[in-house]
Amino acid sequence: MADPVVYFEIVGGDGRAQQDFYRDLFGWELTPVEPSDGGYARTTAGIEGGVGAFPGAPSYVTVYVKAQDPAQALERAEALGGSRLMDAREVRPGITVAMFRDPAGNAVGIISGV
């Protein structure tokens, strides 16, 4: 089986307003993530995902693809013409993520430990 999409994010602007929009639009149940002070929340809308904002981050919508080794997958993405947005790093114990832009400029995440 190919590597599956296992997470998504819709991030930008006012995190709480973003959450309200998607909660109202699709009926998503959102749970705030600490220590985001309510600016970021998680949902299980088909696949698990998050909605909100991060200080200084641009607005984006992205998917996260599960990979055994996000750092290695990031290197493959660059070799295929993508560009690095975020080095692989552990964001929670056992959860490692990295991000790249594909050749068309779309932000895509890579995740392990889920």
DSSP of 47-81: EEEEEE--TTPPPEEEEEEE-S-HHHHHHHHHHTT
Which range, 39-48, 59-68, 85-94, is most confident? 85-94
- How far is C-alpha 59 from the chain's CA centre? 12
What 8-state DSSP symbol labels residue 40?
A: E
Across 69-75, average pLDDT:
95
What 8-state DSSP symbol labels residue 2?
A: P
pTM of the predicted structure, to 2 decimals: 0.74
9 has pLDDT over 80:
yes
45 has pLDDT over 80:
no
67-114, what's its fold? 2,3-Dihydroxybiphenyl 1,2-Dioxygenase; domain 1 (3.10.180)
Where is 23: in which H helix or E strand?
helix 15-26
Per residue in 73-103, pLDDT (tens digit) is 999 899 998 999 999 999 989 999 999 989 8
State the CATH architecture for 1-57. Roll (3.10)
Could you tell me where in the chain the CATH 3.10.180.10 domains are found? Answer: 1-57, 67-114
